[in-house]
Structure 1
Amino acid sequence: MAKKHGDFNQKIDYVFKVVLIGDSAVGKSQLLARFARNEFSLDSKATIGVEFQTRTLNIDHKTVKAQIWDTAGQERYRAVTSAYYRGAVGAMLVYDMTKRQSFDHVARWLEELRCHADKNIVIMLIGNKSDLSTLRAVPTEDAKEFAQRENLFFLETSALESINVESAFLTVLTEIYRVISKKALVANEESNSNGNSSLLKGTNIAIPLEKPAGNTSACCMSS
């Protein structure tokens, strides 16, 4: 079970970069504030530039620093660039369940993400503002079907009421850890078979997510 870690002097085993994407005003910054600092601001204003917050947790007895990046207003100018996605191993694709248009744009955001990010990035589709159930414009089944079709994790959240926010982030971070750990295990086994057993001893190695072979298609262009 992952827990917030209070000992900041302990060695960090992994740093995972996770990006928040989606239309303006869907609650990305509020989700970040709730997860990183357990805060929520009713008078939150759109900020310009890229922001990130960190939170350190224990996952499977390893110390993991989650570095969560927020577009912070860039999306309204369509200026989200490849630099924002670079190095990301997880993504939270957020829509507002009271605004159908924000859900209709999810496919576009997913296309952009897959163009710029690693092919094996772990993605969570989030329907935010579940506390406004009487204003629901996106049926849960619609989002579930999209997530299943695109092989995404899915949860409905409320940053305001702190519902499923922790679960959403921890699901993504735990899945990233599983992917990275599997790569490290394979690399270690291969090194041992070659008579070199020192590869993972006492070193903090960044294991890149594997890209599928044969995928040489040209990347799409952002609109």
Structure 2
Amino acid sequence: MNSSGRVKIILAGESGTGKSSLVKAINPGKNVNVTIGIDICLEKITLNGRDISLEIWDTAGQERYQSFAQSYYRDAYGAILVYDISDRRSFIRVGSWLNQIKMFSTVEDMVIILVGNKIDLDVREVSREEGLTFAKQNNILFIETSADERTFVVHMLEKLVGKILTTHHVSIKKSSETMRLKMSPEPAKKKSGGCC
């Protein structure tokens, strides 16, 4: 956890892959704090009876600015690495983004989830198997989502945060009340996808 007592999660990937849409899908209508070209979404969830405060950092379309890379990645326990399943170029660049995450990460064993986004589109240039293979080869988690339809978005966050908790043995108070993620339910699944 960082100095604010929150678990920091960053988003990475090419522009146009739907990173900001994923943040909005996590909790629609929630205000996002904008700081120095970075959007920070504060989210509180309950997972397995434990209250967890999250800081979800998004580059706000500023991927090209490497000047703040070190501060962006600093103290992040998790990373959501996003590509667009309808844009092969965004998938090809995933390796470069993964290298950057590993280079600038200050947390040992940062948990990374590879997200193939936009499964609601009819066009697919990257198969689910390609994403899954890349994830397995790099020992990272994998899931496909649709930020626009909010398909598998809650599951993505649960999977990432659950792995962060088990990997880092984060000390978080037990919740005194029973609640789930503070998000609207996901719509019925229309497309194949999901996680491995």
Query: Under a length normalisation based on structure 2, what TM-score does the superposition of the two structures give?
Result: 0.77
Matched residue of 1:115: which SS? helix
Which residue of structure 2 aligns with residue 123 of structure 1?
112
Deviation string, structure 1 residues 101-126 (Cα, Å, up to 9, x no partner) = 00000000000000011230000000
Q: Which has the higher helix share?
A: 1
Root-mean-square deviation over aligned CA pairs: 2.1
Q: Percent identity?
A: 36
Deviates more, 1:66-75 or 1:84-93: 66-75
The residue type paired with residue 31 of structure 1 is: L
Which residue of structure 2 aligns with residue 36 of structure 1?
27
8 Å CA contact retained: 1:20, 1:93: yes
Partners of 1:81 and 1:96 in 2: CA distance:
22
Show the 5 A alignment for 1:45-64: 49-64=37-52
The residue type paired with residue 112 of structure 2 is: I
User: Closer, same or farther in 2 for the Cα pair 1:104/1:145, shift >3 Å?
Assistant: same
Residue number among 137, 143, 164 corresponding to 1:149 in the alignment: 137
Matched residue of 2:166: which SS? helix
Matched residue of 1:68: which SS? strand
Q: Note if 1:27 corresponds to 2:18.
A: yes
8 Å CA contact retained: 1:24, 1:76: no
Q: CA deviation at 1:178?
A: 1.4
Query: Which of the pair has the greater relative contact order for Cα pairs under 8 Å at 6+ separation?
Result: 2
Aligned pair count reads: 163
8 Å CA contact retained: 1:48, 1:74: no
Partners of 1:85 and 1:77 in 2: CA distance:
13
Partners of 2:27 and 2:88 in 1: CA distance:
28
Matched residue of 1:75: which SS? coil
Q: Note if 1:177 corresponds to 2:159.
A: no
Q: Note if 1:92 corresponds to 2:80.
A: yes
Which residue of structure 2 aligns with residue 70 of structure 1?
58
The structure whose Rg is larger is 1
Unaligned runs of 5+ in 2: 172-196
Q: CA deviation at 1:14?
A: 5.2
Partners of 2:43 and 2:27 in 1: CA distance:
6
Query: Under a length normalisation based on structure 1, what TM-score does the superposition of the two structures give?
Result: 0.68
The residue type paired with residue 13 of structure 2 is: G
Matched residue of 1:67: which SS? strand
Deviation string, structure 1 residues 24-81 (Cα, Å, up to 9, x no partner) = 0100000001103368xxxxxxx98101101111123221011100011111344451
8 Å CA contact retained: 1:48, 1:72: no
8 Å CA contact retained: 2:47, 2:158: no
Partners of 2:111 and 2:98 in 1: CA distance:
12
